[in-house]
Amino acid sequence: MIGEHWDVSVRNWPYGIYDLSVIQKVSDNAGGWIESQPYTFTVDCTLPDVSDVTYTPNYRPTFSGKGFSGATVKLVNSPDNPSDVAPEALVHDGEWSSEASEEWGPTLKGEVHIKQFLGCKESANWVEVEVTIPPLAPVMNEPVENGLSPNLSGTCWPGAVLKLKYSDSDIEHAVTNNNGVWSFRRETPFELETLHTATLIQTAAEQDSPPASRTFTVSVHMLKPEITYPEPNAEVGRNVTIQGRQGMAGATMQLHDVQFGRPLGDPKLLTADGEWSIQLTGLAFRKYYLDAQQTLGEGPSERSDRLEFTVVLLPPEFDVPQPGGNFARTSWLSGKGMPNGAVSVWLQGDDAPWLERIPVDSNGDWSREVTLPVGETTIRARQFFRDENDGDQTSADSPWLTFNVVPAAPYIETPCAGEHIGRRVVVSGFGVPGDTVEVRLDDTDLTLLARSSVLDDRTWSVTVMLDQSGGSHGLVAVAQSEGFESEDSEPRMVVLGTYLASIDMPATGDWLANPVEFKGQGRPGIGQVVSGYNPDHVLAADLIVEDRGWQGVSTQVLSAGGHWCRFKQTLDDGGEDGTVSGWVESGRFEVLPPSSPP
Cβ contact 187:149 at 8 Å: yes
Residues 462-475: what's their mean pLDDT?
87
Q: How far is CA 86 from CA 128, 324, 530, 539, in A?
A: 14, 88, 110, 112
Mean pLDDT of the chain: 91
The domain covering 139-217 belongs, at the CATH homologous superfamily level, to Immunoglobulins (2.60.40.10)
Separation CA 598–CA 589 (nearest Å): 12
Q: What is the pLDDT of residue 422?
A: 82
Cβ contact 427:450 at 8 Å: yes
**Residue 381: pLDDT band by 50, 70, 90 thresholds?**
very high
Cβ contact 429:439 at 8 Å: no
- CATH code at 226-311: 2.60.40.650
Q: Looking at this protein, which amino acid is placed at residue 119? A: G
Range name among 350-354, 387-391, 401-405, 529-533 with the lowest pLDDT average? 387-391
Report the candidate in 249, 287, 284, 282 with the shortest Cα–Cα distance to residue 268: 249
Cβ contact 554:518 at 8 Å: yes
Domain with CATH 2.60.40.10 in the chain: 139-217, 317-406, 411-496, 502-591
pLDDT at 140 over 90: yes
For residue 328, count other CB atoms closer than 10 A to its CB: 20
Q: What is the pLDDT of residue 221?
A: 81
Q: What is the pLDDT of residue 27?
A: 74
Q: Please spell the DSSP secondary structure of 446-483, one letter per residue.
A: --EEEEEEPPTTSEEEEEEE--SPSEEEEEEEEEEETT
Q: What is the pLDDT of residue 11?
A: 63
**Strand, helix or coil for residue 50:** coil
The domain covering 502-591 belongs, at the CATH homologous superfamily level, to Immunoglobulins (2.60.40.10)
Q: Looking at this protein, which amino acid is placed at residue 87? A: P
**Strand, helix or coil for residue 235:** strand
The CATH architecture annotation of domain 51-133 reads Sandwich (2.60)
The topology (CATH level 3) of 411-496 is Immunoglobulin-like (2.60.40)
Per-residue model confidence as pLDDT tens digits over 413-443: 999 998 888 888 899 999 999 999 999 988 8
In degrees and rounded to multiples of 5, residue 576 shows phi and psi of -65, -20
Per-residue model confidence as pLDDT tens digits over 168-218: 999 999 999 999 999 999 999 898 889 999 999 999 999 999 999 999 998
Separation CA 437–CA 431 (nearest Å): 8
Q: What is the pLDDT of residue 15?
A: 63
Report the candidate in 405, 364, 401 with the shortest Cα–Cα distance to residue 383: 364
Q: How far is CA 549 from CA 109, 142, 500, 504, 546, in A?
A: 98, 97, 13, 10, 5
pLDDT at 598 over 70: no
Q: What is the pLDDT of residue 166?
A: 97
In degrees and rounded to multiples of 5, residue 353 shows phi and psi of -60, 145
What predicted TM-score, i.e. pTM, was given to this entire model? 0.55
Question: What is the C-alpha end-to-end distance of the chain, expressed in Å?
Answer: 173
Cβ contact 292:228 at 8 Å: no
The domain covering 317-406 belongs, at the CATH homologous superfamily level, to Immunoglobulins (2.60.40.10)
- In 283-306, which positions are buried (b, 16+ CB within 10 angstroms) versus exposed (e)? bebeebebbbbbebeeeebeebee
Q: Exposed (0-12), middle (13-18) or buried (19+): which is 471, by Cβ within 10 Å?
A: middle
What is the percent of the chain with per-residue pLDDT over 70, rounded to a whole number? Answer: 95
Q: Which residues on neighbouring strands pair with residue 27, listed in sequence order?
A: 33
Q: How far is CA 7 from CA 22, 27, 116, in A?
A: 11, 20, 29
**80 Cβ contact partners less than 8 Å away, ≥ 6 residues apart:** none
Residues 61-75: what's their mean pLDDT?
95
**Residue 245: pLDDT band by 50, 70, 90 thresholds?**
very high
- In 329-338, which positions are buried (b, 16+ CB within 10 angstroms) versus exposed (e)? bebebbbbbb
Residues 500-504: what's their mean pLDDT?
93
Cβ contact 116:73 at 8 Å: yes
